[in-house]
Structure 1
Amino acid sequence: MYLISIDEEKCTGCGECVDVCPVSHLEMKDEVAVTNEQTECVGCDSCVETCPVEAITLTEY
């Protein structure tokens, strides 16, 4: 299982991470990216690689 952490201070709300997530685990809320509790992260790392401000970290647990 994987845990996505988004630094809301760094997030610019570009939405690129939301667009690349293959399982729709990320969504925009109040102009920042947040995790969607209805889906589970598959650990593909796409969001981390896509984020232009390095606001996302992915941790396996």
Structure 2
Amino acid sequence: MVNRAAAHVIRVDVKKGVEETIAAGTNPHHVEIADGTAYVVGKSGATATGDTATRIRLAR
């Protein structure tokens, strides 16, 4: 889950609740998970060059 205003990704366990909050660049809005890695896309809103992509390794 992303918190766009706070620029964080929140890792949630459906049974335990919030497990971790991770900084993820400016205005994160999309998370894709593949092969044990979360890819987070952030849109600066100001310019095309301010966009970000963050890679987060997930614990197994």
Query: Which bin holds the TM-score, normalised by the shorter protein?
Result: under 0.3
- Bigger Cα Rg: 2
Instruction: Return the TM-score normalized by structure 1.
Output: 0.23
Structure number with greater CO (CA < 8 Å, separation at least 6) is: 1
